[in-house]
A and B are shown apart, each in its own frame.
Chain A
């Protein structure tokens, strides 16, 4: 019986560590998806000059449901002639910092507002910021994410041994 209880507790502690490390993976994936979205936007605005609604309609990222959710909110708000706000970006991603969410909402609200050249410049500036964040996320994941996993495994094993 002791074996089973020790095993379960050890596994739970390990899972907790893996859960914490997911935050870094999710951040990394979200920012990478946002980079992909920026590239898509730039191509559509600069070369094809498609309308914003058309671009948003055709965009879908199979790897990131959070970005899809944000794009979908943007589409709904445009149809209502409204702007996107932090309040209507529901289910806020816990892995994003408040200032990052503000930055993203502000970027989305600038879309379509100006001429092609200014739009492309805005996208490029935002892309540069996001690209930096994506790189930092990769580093964070390498350092902290993996550390959480390793520590939790070690802690799980230690608890397992102690309880035995």
Chain B
């Protein structure tokens, strides 16, 4: 699917690489193509190159063609996603899009004159959560858990594997995933493109507010998985879910617990002790490095390598 949306020049360069090892591709108009292939490299016509001078330079036309192809030649049909700055492909590949925002009375209508793209390729890494799984539940219940990490450190991959392990081990019978950007399960035609387990129901491409409130009413989940808490509306919906007695597994962008505590939006939530467990990830030893699992009193229960 990545190959299908790329213009000829980039396509032939990517084809020389192992697509399964690519995690991210960053394209900026008039700038060298950057590829995350284990580490950060440049993309040249012969594949990976280390110097900027040998790298392919992205053109405006190429960028527009990629977005057009990613939107299945129908930008209008993907405008709701585009307004939020991304388009998700059928297999979960997400295009983050930057450009000129067209707004009318504080409402974003669309994005035009695209200037840069961040193409992220999801990878299902089964069993990556096995080491920390025992700290997230006991005989009676599953702990409300928050996964904390900077962008690109494997939050979504960890969340996906946790959903899978909860299903596999029959820890919970009914799990609901609220997949706002269609990255966790990558639903396509009602079928999940990434393995999230058999006990899972998925609301895809919907807001967290809708997913949480309606999901609790209609699907009766015991635990809800959701990615990237970021707004006060997300936290309001989270409040409703927790008040309803449903367990929560969520992720948030932050370096660690201390930096999260500095964010005004999260201060009340943390003070209220809503979350029982905090998993901190980083890229220290590569993507998905587990720094530790902490309880609500900041006591370290598991320390990563």
Contact = CB atoms under 8 A, between A and B. Distances in A.
A115 B65 contact: no
Contact of B82 (A50, A111, A115): A115
A116 B83 CA distance: 12
Given A81-B65, A81-B69, A115 B109 contact: yes
A119 interface: yes
Contacts of B112: 114
B210 interface: no
Contacts of B4: 81
B110 A114 contact: yes
B68 interface: yes
Contacts of B110: 114-115, 118
Contacts of A115: 75-76, 79, 82, 102, 109-110
Interface in A136-153: none
A45 B79 CA distance: 12
Nearest to A45: B76
Interface in A118-136: 118-119
B164 interface: no
B69 A51 contact: no
A52 interface: yes
Given A113-B68, A114-B110, A114-B112, A53 B76 contact: no
B65 A52 contact: no
Contact of B72 (A45, A51, A111, A113): A51
Contacts of B76: 45, 49, 112, 114-116, 118-119
A75 B16 CA distance: 29
Interface string B65-98: 1001101111111010010000000000000000
B73 A112 contact: yes
Contacts of A112: 68, 71, 73-76
Nearest to A120: B76
Contacts of A50: 74, 77
A116 B77 CA distance: 7
B277 to A, nearest CB: 42
B304 to A, nearest CB: 44
Contacts of A87: none
Contact of A51 (B7, B73, B79, B109): B73
A51 B82 contact: no
B208 to A, nearest CB: 23
A50 B78 CA distance: 10
A78 B73 contact: yes
Contacts of B109: 115, 117
Contacts of B71: 112
B79 A116 contact: yes
Nearest to A48: B77
Contacts of A81: 4, 7, 65, 69
B266 to A, nearest CB: 34
Nearest to A46: B76
Contacts of B77: 49-52
A78 B68 CA distance: 10
Interface string A45-73: 10001111100000000000000000000
B73 A53 contact: yes
A51 B74 contact: yes
B17 to A, nearest CB: 20
Contacts of B69: 81
A52 B74 CA distance: 6
A116 B110 CA distance: 10
Interface string A77-121: 010010000000000000000000000000000011111111100
B72 A53 contact: yes
20 contacts: A49-B76, A49-B77, A50-B74, A51-B72, A52-B73, A52-B77, A53-B72, A53-B73, A111-B73, A112-B73, A112-B74, A112-B76, A113-B75, A114-B75, A114-B76, A115-B75, A115-B76, A115-B79, A115-B82, A118-B110
Given A49-B76, A113-B75, A115-B79, 5 more contacts: A52-B73, A112-B74, A114-B110, A117-B109, A119-B76
